[in-house]
Chains A and B, each alone.
Chain A
Amino acid sequence: KNQVEQSPQSLIILEGKNCTLQCNYTVSPFSNLRWYKQDTGRGPVSLTIMTFSENTKSNGRYTATLDADTKQSSLHITASQLSDSASYICVVSASSGGYNKLIFGAGTRLAVHP
C-alpha cells in the first residue's frame, strides 16, 4: 500500500532557529517527491520537487533532501521567520499507467514564535 508518513505531527520553534521535518514513504513505482507549504485557509504551494536521482534541492531558506534507498526525505528550514508558520506537506508521486498519482502525507504543523 502506498503511504507517506510525516514527523513530527506538530512543532514549535523560536524565530531565527532552524528545524528539520521528516518524511518516510512506501510508494512504488516512485516518480518524484515534493514538499508543499500550506498556510491556514489557503491552498498548498510547491517548495521543492525531487526526482529519484536528486539528493538535495534548495529554495531560499528551504532545503529538501532525498534518500531513495531508505525512502526518506527531509525539509530543513534555516533561520525561521514568523511567516514560516504553516503546514508542510510531503507528497510523493507514483507512476500510474500514463499519469502519476499523488500520495499525500498528513503534514507537519509548524509554529514559529517570536
Chain B
Amino acid sequence: GAVVSQHPSWVICKSGTSVKIECRSLDFQATTMFWYRQFPKQSLMLMATSNEGSKATYEQGVEKDKFLINHASLTLSTLTVTSAHPEDSSFYICSARVRGTIDTQYFGPGTRLTVL
C-alpha cells in the first residue's frame, strides 16, 4: 500500500529555535499534502494545505509566518515551525493525496514536537 513517511518522528527543542519536519510520499506522487496538528485526546486539526509548486493555503487562525510550508516536489513537503514556543508542543501529522484522485489520502506516522 501507499506509504507516507515523516522525519523526524520526535524532536525536542529549546524555545525560540526553529524546527523543520519533512513529509514524504514514498511510492506515489502527491500534488497536495496536508498538515495537521493534534493535541492530547483531541482529533486532528487541519493547519494548512500544501500544493506542489505553489503557496500553501492556511486554515483560519493558523499563522503562515510561524508555520512555513514548502512543497518543492511531488513527493516532499516540509513544515517549519519558526521561533517555537512551548504552546507549539504538539503532534504534527501530514497526509498526502494521491495525484489524480479527489480524496485518496494516506497519513504519515506523525512527529512529536516538544518545546522546552
Contacts and interface: CB of A to CB of B under 8 A. Distances in A.
Contacts of B103: 31-32, 93, 99-100, 102
Contacts of B105: 102
Interface class of chain B by DSSP: strand
A42 B41 CA distance: 13
Contacts of B32: 99
Nearest to A89: B43
A113 B102 CA distance: 39
A59 B112 CA distance: 29
B112 to A, nearest CB: 7
Contacts of B4: 43
B60 interface: no
A108 B6 CA distance: 25
A37 to B, nearest CB: 11
Which residue among B46, B102, B103 has the maximum number of chain A CB atoms within 10 Å of its CB?
Answer: B103
Interface of A: 31-32, 36, 41-46, 89, 93, 95, 98-100, 102, 104-107, 109
